[in-house]
């Protein structure tokens, strides 16, 4: 009986230590710290195309001046939107105002995501030929001149950190790709939550907070955001759809004390493409709105 109890305690202790090791990979020592790339719980890299099923009338065409529908602008924001002058933007070298960090996700276009180095993700947009740098290294600080894309601080969220596509071999390391296919009955049903085993991929998301940017447009027709704004994004890699489509969902929250009366929420969906063959960089250019006609 005593030996049995001893065995119980030994095995329990060993497993506790083993589990602590797994947990530690998510939170710190022991072991060398994981790079952001190694810690990535989800794989965002690849070529993505915006599928414009929402806000079509404001994203695919340039809406008329003053059309601020859906956006919680305050009085100053409305006034600024009414003062939009595309020609003045062009002549002053500000054509990229609609392609800054507050508007670039909503531009119809393609997106290439890659690791610039183990702690930096690079997002390239063909619309406006823009590049965003997402920095995981907390030692890097914003500084210098404000830019259209600003300074983006990134961090992984969720329980899958350190078990994702590029985690080093070891307990809890998961294979590449998104979490298990979703909507196909292959996820986890009920019962206790996912835990422990290497067979489980635990998902996660990327949180990005951007500051230090130049003011720009939330919408092609000059609905503004200011330099005082803070932009928070959540990148989600959705489980593979049953038809084989892979989706990237990006939730964007813009908080702007100058032009917005409340936080502005949007979410944008990108479908994975096999390659970057259709990635076609184009300059910052906003087509003029079509004329408003009287209904027949």
Partner 1 sequence: MRLATSARAAIVSACLVMAAVPAAAQVNFSGEWSGRYHEDQPDRVPGEEPGDFSGIPLNDAARMFGDSYDVGRHSVLEEQCAPYTLPYMFFGPNQFRIWQQVNPDTQELVAIEMHLGTYQQHRTIWLDGRPHPPEYAPHTFMGFSTGEWNGDMLTITTTHIKQGYFRRSGVPASDRTTVVEHWMRHGNLLSQVTIATDPVYLTEPYIRSQEFVLMDRGNTNWLYNCEYAMEVPRDKNLVPHYLPGKNPWSGEFEAKHAMPREGVRGGAESLLPEWKPGAPAARPNPVKNGGFPASVLPEKLPAGDVRAVKVQGNVYLIVGAGANIAAQVGDDGVLVVDTGAAGQSDKVLAAIKGIANGKEIRWIVNTTPTADHIGNNEQVSKAGRTVNGNQAAIVAHENANERMIQRNVPDAQRPYNTYFEGSRDFPFNGEPIILYHDESSVNDADTVVFFRRSDVVAAGDIFRTDSFPVIDVTQGGTVQGEIDALNRLLDLTVPSKMLQEAGTYVIPGHGRISDEHEVVWYRDMLVIIRDRIKDMVARKMTLDQIKAAKPALDYEGRYGADTGPWTTAMFVEAIYKDLTKSK
Contact present, 51 and 245 (Cβ < 8 Å): no
Instruction: Compute the least distance from the CB of residue 4 to partner 1, in Å.
Output: 4
210-239 binders of partner 1 (CB under 8 A): 234, 236, 238-239
Window 114 to 153, contacts with partner 1 (CB under 8 A): 126-127
Nearer to partner 1, 18 or 140 (CB): 18
Binding mask 53-72 for partner 1 (x = CB under 8 A): xxxxx--xx-xx--x-xxxx
Least distance from partner 1 to the Cβ atom of residue 178, Å: 8
Binding residue for partner 1, selected from 21, 66, 108, 118, defined by CB under 8 A: 108
Residue 247 CB, shortest distance to partner 1, in Å, is 7
- Residue 46: which region, alpha, beta or left (left: phi > 0; alpha: psi -120 to 50)? left
Give the shortest CB-171-to-partner 1 separation in angstroms. Answer: 12
Q: Which residues contact 38 (CB under 8 A, 6 or more apart)?
A: 118, 162, 166, 167, 168
Least Å from the CB of residue 36 to partner 1: 18
Tell me which stretch binds partner 1 (CB under 8 A): 74-82, 86-94, 138-146, 243-251.
243-251
User: Interface residues for partner 1 in 19-48 (CB under 8 A)?
Assistant: 19, 41
Binding range to partner 1, per CB under 8 A, among 32-40, 143-151, 223-231, 257-265: 257-265
* Backbone φ, ψ for residue 239 (5° rounding): -55, 145
Build a one-symbol-per-residue string for 72-101: x at contacts with partner 1 by CB under 8 A, - elsewhere: x-----------------------------
Distances (CA, A) of 164 to 92, 156, 194, 198, 241: 46, 11, 15, 10, 19
The count of residues interacting with partner 1 (CB under 8 A) is: 95
**Interacting stretch for partner 1, rule CB under 8 A, among 27-35, 102-110, 129-137, 143-151?**
102-110
- The separation between the first and the last C-alpha atoms of the chain, rounded to the nearest angstrom, is 92
Give the distance, in angstroms, between the CA of residue 234 and the centroid of all CA atoms in the same chain.
5
- Nearest approach in angstroms of CB 91 to partner 1 is 24
Q: Which residues contact 110 (CB under 8 A, 6 or more apart)?
A: 47, 48, 49, 50, 125, 126, 127, 273, 276, 278, 279, 280
Among the residue ranges 32-40, 85-93, 131-139, 266-274, the one whose residues contact partner 1 (CB under 8 A):
266-274
Q: Is residue 39 within a helix (H) or strand (E), and if so which, with residue range? A: helix 36-39
- What are the φ/ψ torsions at residue 18 (nearest 5 degrees)? -60, -45
CB 271 within 8 A of CB 48: yes
């Amino acid at each position: 009986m005593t030996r049995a109890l001893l065995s119980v305690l030994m095995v329990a202790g060993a497993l506790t230590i083993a589990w602590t090791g797994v947990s530690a990979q998510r939170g710190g020592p022991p072991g060398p710290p994981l790079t952001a790339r190694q810690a990535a719980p989800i794989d965002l890299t690849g070529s993505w195309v915006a599928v414009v099923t929402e806000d079509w009338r404001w994203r695919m065409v340039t809406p008329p001046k003053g059309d601020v529908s859906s956006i919680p602008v305050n009085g100053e924001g409305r006034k600024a939107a009414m003062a939009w002058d595309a020609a003045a933007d062009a002549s002053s070298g500000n054509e990229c105002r609609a392609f800054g960090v507050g508007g670039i996700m909503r531009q119809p276009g393609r997106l290439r995501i890659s690791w610039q180095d183990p702690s930096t993700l690079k997002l390239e947009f063909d619309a406006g030929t823009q590049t965003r740098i997402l920095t995981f290294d907390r030692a890097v600080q914003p500084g210098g001149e404000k830019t259209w894309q600003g300074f983006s601080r990134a961090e992984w969220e969720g329980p899958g950190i350190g078990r994702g596509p590029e985690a080093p071999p070891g307990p809890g390391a998961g294979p590449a790709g998104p979490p298990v296919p979703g909507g196909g009955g292959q996820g986890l049903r009920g019962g206790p939550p996912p835990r422990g085993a290497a067979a489980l991929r635990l998902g996660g998301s990327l949180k990005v907070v951007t500051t230090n940017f130049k003011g720009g447009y939330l919408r092609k027709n000059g609905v503004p955001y200011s330099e005082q704004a803070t932009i928070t994004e959540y990148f989600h890699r959705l489980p593979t759809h049953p038809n084989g489509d892979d989706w990237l969902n990006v939730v964007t929250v813009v908080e702007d004390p100058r032009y917005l009366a409340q936080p502005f929420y949007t979410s944008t969906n990108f479908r994975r493409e096999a390659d970057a063959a259709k990635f076609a960089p184009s300059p910052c250019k906003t087509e003029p709105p079509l004329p408003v006609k009287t209904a027949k």
